[in-house]
Chains A and B, each alone.
Chain A
Amino acid sequence: MLTKSLYLSSIRFLTKNIWQFASLITGIVLSVAIITATDLAIESAKKSFELSTEIINGKATHHIINNGGKIDEELVVNLENKYKLTVTPLIEGFVTKNNRLLKVIGIDPFSDIAFRSIFKEFNSRKQYNPSAFINKLEGFFTTKHTAEKFRILPGDPLLIDQNDETYRLKLYGLIDSDNAPASASLDNLLFMDISTAQELLKLQNYISRIDLILKPEEENELKNILFAIDPSLVLIKSSERNQAQESMTKSFNANLSALSLLAMLVGIFLIYNTMTFAVLQRRKIFGFLRTIGVSQKEIFSLIIFESLLFAIIGSLIGIGLGYLLANVLLSFIVRTINDLYFVLQVSQIHISNITFLKAGLIGVFAALLSALIPAYEASNSPVTKVIKNIDIEEKVKKYLPKLNIAGLVLISLSLLLFLIFEKNISACFFGLFIMVIGFSCFIPFLTYHSDYILEPLYRNTFGLASLISLRSLKKNLSRNAIAIAALTVAISLYLSLDIAINSFRNTVEDWLSASLFADIYISTPKQVSHRNHLTLNNKVIEFTKTFQTEDIIGISEYHLRDVIGEYGSTRVASINSLPIVKNSFTFKESTKDIWSKFDKGEGLIASAPYAYKHKIKCNDKVKLQTDKGLQTFTILGIFSDYSSDQGLLMMHQDLYRSLWEDPNLSSLGIFLKESTETELEKPKKNKIHLLTNQKSSPKLDKIKTYIEAYKTEAAKESLSPTFFDIRSNKELLKESLEIFDRTFRVTSALKIIAVIVAAFGIFSALLSLIIEREKEFALLKALGMSKQDIQRSISLQAFTMGLLSSIFAIPLGIASAWVMIFVINHRSFGWDINFSLDFKSILFATLISVTAALIAAIFPSQTQSKVSPRELEKDEAF
């Protein structure tokens, strides 16, 4: 019966100390939630991409795409009738409705049947009569979920505003699947007949791609046929296309997973922290239990039983919370992928039991492992010492030098990892992880000796009584150090992310300011973003060139498109090199007379990420598939560029146009006269910086006037504003930075979660420590301390813990940021980021740390200050 009462005693203890119980569970909940959320969000984005490509590619073995983006529709018929191939045309495009980006997929149900099964039933014509779908230019199918979002039922219209016209589509039916993730991956897709899609997207006579089912022997023959028809047509294997898209986000995902690992580290610390408390706090009780005959084994299994209970409850709640959090994270991730890489439609979290299992197991095992040492310690130490509770602290003190050595070893190991694994990002993150653990090994030692500096400081500032807080910190080092370490890790994570992102942002902002050389930009409408490489309407180009005002001193022309090169799809930019444009480039490496060679078309320049990714140096050669066949180009220089992590190659417009039959442009830049200087040649770096700080200047007014006049005149020429976007460099800079900020919203979210987790850590630590000191407070009250004195003492202890954490976190945070910038980021993307330390971040981190600790102290100080001196007697009675 004794064991039963043992468990009951443990349960009573917890129900009586419900706050502690709650904070203990919260620690586990939060940690498991972070792991679950990040994992689910990343996996959902990935899974959704895989499923939708799987469904949309269907049985296609190959695709024909055009470098220029569009394919003549006649080619489909030609391949089918003349070459007797199994082909189907496809149109892909985007429309917006209620600020939601919808992907339009135009298919030909007749030939589609050989590729995809979605329209199989439709083709059977038992229930459906396809003629309306094909003939009326209105019908579309979408998922039930998407239809519900727009509150439409089959038969209802859906109005789409596109190209200045309103299209009236009609929902002809719903696509559904008994496989929920598969169904969800088709959300926000509108399937319609190719005729309807052509009309909606204004793709008269063109299609986006051709899908084929080829026999292996047909591949080479077809390549030759295509080359003869139009050299810009490219035949690619279906599998290769997906891989290319997937690998684009690889670095991005790796970084995210690693961040979640770091967050997990904070979580494990927290679990360890709370579990250790739960045991250490009752060390005395366990001691008494042993004096009345409870065996060591029983004490041990009691503690393990408790931890398991917490672990299971905490993990289950954590998984639930993580699932909810994942939705938020997912929307950030999807937005970023859409901003930077490709359009991805994800509306739902893909439930992954592996993730749940992983997070659950980490929660349970972290809790069990954390409980093992204190459980062993409490059940095996001599009873007399356990009761006195001194022994444990003595032990900790003895361990301090050993811990320091361990810390040194771990930090050296991390440095070694950075040196050995140059290209392996996961290894680098693991190195960072070890470095952080290594650093936290010093925390008990540093905390213990912090009184050398703090004692005189406190004595002078807060008076003698303040030393109680300081001594108590030292006395209960085992628990305090863990709490401080948890907070340190969290704050340093926060700080390092903040420094890394800010450095990156500053670098990008500087670069943008320098490279947004023109005053005004005219580009394709932004509702369909840059990824699609849309080209400017010819009328807009013509109009811009004829729309002359006396202020214009030059127009730069820019064109960006994807071509197939030896490293797969490659971004190629072409410019008409105005002298002023050249000044905006910063070369990391360059050859002699680079610009004169560039102008003569003797080679091209590569962006730093491109050069890094493909290990390219000056004078190296790259091959690109041009309309005149495969051509080799010399690299003249490598320039700094942050516009794409895939990298890009840049060439002179004349060279480009001599090799590709593509007179299109992506954007135009307009240069206006300065009020004081009119010369084109002068370098104008950081010009925007100056302008952004100004509310008005003659130049700003000129820009404004030009834009207004342009819009008015364009309207007169009946050029719809949906054909183009006209923005000042200032606006463009702002938008670019907005995209940048969106990209790092996930990181910011993680950053905040880390701090919340840490605040809970401090809260539970303080709570337990203070409850434990009940007797001490009663004694202090008996000695004449007031309620306020005790509150102050408790707050001071919390403040000290927060202060120490932030002091420790600053060097750790800076070091981690350094690793993130110079090791991880450079190795994943090839970007050079200027390390910029913002003292505001450090100040803010300190503030967070101290505030978190003080907030955590409010509740315990309220309860404990009310403690009556009579508690002393009660305790004696025990």
Chain B
Amino acid sequence: MKKKNSKLPIILISSLVLILVFLSSKFFSNTPFNEKHFKLQKPSELLKHEEIDTKFAKALDPYDFSFPQDHGSHEEFKTEWWYYTGNLEDANGHEFGYQLTIFRNGLEPIFDAEDKKNVLNNWQTKEIYMAHFAITDIHNKKFYSFEKLGRESLGQAGARINPYKVWVKNWSIQSSPKANAENIFPIILRAQDKDLSMKLNLKPVKPVTLQGLDGLSQKSNGAGNASYYYSISKLASKGKIQIGDQIFKVKGFSWLDREFSTSSLGGTLAGWDWFALQLENNVEIMYYRLRDQENNTDMAHSGGVIIDAAGEKHPFTAQDIVLNSTEKFKSKYSGAEYPISWTMEIPKLDLKVKIKPLLKEQEHQNNYPYYEGAIEVNGEFSKNKITGKGYMELVGY
């Protein structure tokens, strides 16, 4: 009897212990503070949509290009880019692909110097520059990609023509000391991150090719839904790439794409596939395919160009080409499924090639994922075997 009844204090003590255990367990379960817990919540509408300032100029008529001025920026347009890609190789056959792109994004149009001065301080910028830098180390199967943003103020980023320089912080595209006011080339590309750097010297082999109708490239129906677009399809490139402690002296060929526009893409457009092929017979092919949500090609506005050994351009339309994807790659990072291998046929030129990436994983895994990768080309051209290299861009998957 005594035993039975003396349970009460035991119950009480054990309940006290339970309370203590509860309190301490609460304490120990306290998750350690992690900065990553922070989220920006409930953004106001002010931040969600970008309303394009109607004051920006639009690509309406064929443009009267004049170089070297037009290698510089066109601040009356909203968007502009300097797109360098290329395939390089060192003396030991160690292959690399590279990309250095600088984008300009206008927040307000700038028509003259007064517009530019119309700010309250140096950080209130009218333009944002963004740069993407990527190296594909084909031998080691590694893809490195980096992003850098800056304001067009305080010299953080910008584009100027004399002396020629387009830059975002310490990444730059600029004339070499050998260049002069009439000719910005040769140019030097510089970019680096912590353990990786690249310095290349580029000299055009082919002249400027104006895409579309004298450089006016219509992207969808409607006046102004176009961009001004030109390329230099082949630039002899040499320089060095450093990865960690290893320095590679490389040479090869680059491709430059330049575009500026205000609103070029139609509303139904989901994305595009872009190919720049540099064939061994000194012929280059560029083709872009605009896609809608159902992966249908916009036959009216997709198209390409062939640049022959003499640098003459021969445009072709989407009807002239048969493009089939043969292999897909699903990115773990973005979940996007990219068609990375293709067969490309242009019957009227008697061209039939296979396109394959030199490395599968060449997706830019930063804030705005897309696929930009080095490719190899194998097939037949006018009944002859042909090989080549190039770059492929897959956006909107």
A residues contacting B by CB (< 8 A) are 1-4, 7, 51, 54-55, 58, 73-74, 76-77, 80-82, 84, 108, 110-111, 116-119, 121-135, 137, 139, 141, 144, 153-155, 170-179, 181-182, 193-195, 198-199, 204-205, 298, 301, 304-305, 308-309, 312, 353-354, 356-357, 360-361, 364
Contact = CB atoms under 8 A, between A and B. Distances in A.
Contact of B120 (A119, A137, A305): A137
Contact of A55 (B30, B35, B128, B150): B35
A675 B1 CA distance: 97
Among all A-B residue pairs, the 6 with the closest Cβ atoms? A154-B44, A353-B27, A3-B5, A195-B123, A155-B44, A110-B149
B40 A304 contact: no
Given A51-B33, A182-B38, A1 B47 contact: no
Nearest to A316: B19
B245 interface: no
15 contacts: A7-B8, A81-B167, A110-B150, A117-B38, A123-B367, A127-B47, A128-B43, A128-B48, A129-B49, A144-B41, A172-B43, A179-B33, A205-B121, A353-B27, A357-B24
Contacts of A308: 9, 12-13, 16
B178 interface: no
A73 B154 contact: yes
Which residue, of A3, A84, A118, A205, has the highest number of chain B Cβ atoms within 10 A? Answer: A3
A301 B2 CA distance: 12
Contacts, number: 197
B348 interface: no
A177 B39 contact: yes
B154 A74 contact: yes
Contacts of A84: 170, 192
B314 interface: no
Contact of A353 (B8, B30, B108, B150): B30
A58 B35 contact: yes
Which residue, of A1, A4, A110, A182, has the highest number of chain B Cβ atoms within 10 A? Answer: A110
Nearest to B149: A110
A737 B48 CA distance: 51
Contacts of B31: 179
Contact of B50 (A1, A129, A172, A175): A129
B23 A356 contact: yes
A663 B45 CA distance: 47
Given A110-B151, A121-B40, A179-B33, A195 B121 contact: yes
A195 B124 contact: yes
A114 B49 CA distance: 25
A305 B37 contact: no
Nearest to B4: A3
A702 to B, nearest CB: 44
Given A77-B156, A305-B12, A173 B33 contact: no
Contact of A129 (B1, B9, B48, B126): B48
Given A127-B43, A154-B42, A198-B121, 5 more contacts: A74-B154, A129-B49, A131-B128, A134-B123, A308-B13
A116 B39 CA distance: 12
B368 interface: yes
B204 to A, nearest CB: 27
B68 interface: no
Nearest to B5: A3
B384 interface: no
Contacts of B192: 84
B94 to A, nearest CB: 26
Contact of B6 (A3, A76, A108, A353): A3
A54 B123 contact: no
B279 to A, nearest CB: 37
B310 interface: no
A360 B16 CA distance: 10
Contact of B9 (A1, A73, A301): A301
Contacts of A110: 128, 148-151
A170 B44 contact: yes
Contacts of B50: 129, 131-132
B47 A139 contact: yes
Nearest to A121: B40
B20 A357 contact: yes
A2 B4 CA distance: 11
Interface in B118-169: 120-126, 128, 148-151, 154-156, 167, 169
Given A81-B170, A131-B128, A353 B23 contact: yes
Contacts of B2: 3
B33 A360 contact: no
B16 to A, nearest CB: 6
Contacts of B27: 353-354, 357
Given A110-B151, A125-B368, A129-B49, A193 B123 contact: yes
A354 B37 CA distance: 23
Nearest to A302: B9
A542 B346 CA distance: 81
A345 B154 CA distance: 33
B156 A128 contact: no
Nearest to A181: B33
Given A1-B1, A144-B41, A364 B16 contact: yes
A80 B169 contact: yes
Contacts of B37: 177-179, 182
B40 A173 contact: yes
Contacts of A130: 47, 128
Contacts of A301: 6, 9
A135 B169 contact: no
B86 to A, nearest CB: 23
Contacts of B30: 353
Which residue, of B33, B107, B148, B169, has the highest number of chain A Cβ atoms within 10 A? Answer: B33
B26 interface: yes
Nearest to A59: B35
A413 B24 CA distance: 36
B24 A124 contact: no
A146 to B, nearest CB: 13
Contacts of B47: 127-130, 132-133, 139, 172-173
A132 B24 CA distance: 47
Contact of A179 (B1, B8, B34, B40): B34
A259 B38 CA distance: 37
Contacts of B43: 127-128, 154, 172-173
A125 B49 CA distance: 10
Nearest to B124: A195
Given A116-B35, A118-B38, A179-B31, A80 B6 contact: no
A54 B35 contact: yes
Contacts of B149: 110-111, 123
Contacts of B148: 110
Contacts of B105: 131
A126 B12 CA distance: 57
A176 B39 contact: yes
Contacts of B154: 73-74, 76-77
A131 B149 CA distance: 12
A141 B44 CA distance: 10
B341 to A, nearest CB: 29
A129 B40 CA distance: 13
A461 to B, nearest CB: 51
B276 to A, nearest CB: 26
A110 B149 CA distance: 6
Nearest to A109: B149
Given A125-B368, A131-B105, A305-B9, A108 B23 contact: no
A125 B367 contact: yes
A724 to B, nearest CB: 24
Contacts of A175: 38-41
Contacts of B151: 108, 110, 134
Nearest to B32: A179
Given A129-B49, A205-B122, A353-B27, A309 B20 contact: no
A28 B158 CA distance: 70
Contact of B46 (A76, A77, A155, A181): A155
Contacts of B332: none
